[in-house]
């Protein structure tokens, strides 16, 4: 009987803490695009905290996805590539396929910033295909947004407009996604 009471008390105590953590990560997602340096500081503080407290692999991978996006926003493209490669490998190792499109998007965006389209485009197309396959609208929107930017850069305006329209059409599905990761704001 005592054991069941302890488990119940721990569940009641841990559940709000976990919900608070998820809420904090959702707030960080917005902060990444508005104030990336502040977001990166908060991400680093959370990482330090998570090391001392047992957290799920999914939560740590989401934190890495947010960190990667922060690096992109700050123009730290080499750091973003390194983090995305390591995180993609870790996602494969953990059999956490749903995380992979976010890291592929991050790598593609970093390579595109270096004008290395031979590296960026295959990663981007892999990300878009994997996002569709795994039903990850957050990653799909980021991939479509990046592809529209690249199409606009090479004067393929019709393709760019179509990608933006498709991204806007599926933007409402972000809230329906089971596990949140990272996504650009609608007005980005």
pLDDT one-digit tens code per residue, 94-151: 999 999 999 999 999 999 999 999 999 999 999 999 999 999 999 999 999 999 999 9
User: What's the pTM?
Assistant: 0.82
Per the CB < 8 A criterion, the answer to whether 77 and 71 are in contact is yes
Q: Token digits for 40?
A: 């990166």
Q: What percent of the chain has pLDDT over 90?
A: 57
Q: Which residues have CB under 8 Å from 32's CB, separation 6+?
A: 39, 66, 69, 70, 73, 182
Model confidence band, residue 181 (pLDDT cutoffs 50, 70, 90): confident
Residue 33: pLDDT band with limits 50, 70, 90: confident
């Amino acid at each position: 009987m005592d054991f069941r009471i302890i488990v119940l008390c721990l569940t009641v105590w841990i559940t709000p803490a976990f919900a608070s953590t998820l809420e904090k990560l959702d707030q960080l997602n917005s902060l990444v695009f508005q104030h990336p340096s502040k977001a990166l500081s908060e991400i680093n503080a959370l990482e330090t905290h998570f090391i001392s407290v047992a957290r799920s692999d999914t939560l740590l991978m989401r934190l890495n996805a947010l960190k990667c996006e922060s690096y992109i926003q700050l123009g730290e493209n080499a750091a973003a590539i390194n983090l995305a490669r390591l995180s993609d490998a870790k996602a494969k190792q953990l059999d956490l396929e749903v995380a992979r499109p976010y890291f592929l998007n991050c790598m593609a965006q970093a390579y595109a910033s270096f004008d290395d389209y031979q590296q960026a485009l295959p990663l981007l197309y892999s990300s878009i295909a994997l996002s569709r396959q795994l039903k990850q609208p957050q990653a799909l929107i980021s991939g479509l947004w990046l592809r529209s930017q690249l199409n606009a850069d090479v004067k393929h305006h019709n393709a760019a407009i179509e990608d933006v329209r498709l991204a806007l059409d599926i933007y409402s599905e972000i809230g329906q996604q089971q596990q949140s990761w990272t996504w650009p704001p609608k007005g980005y």
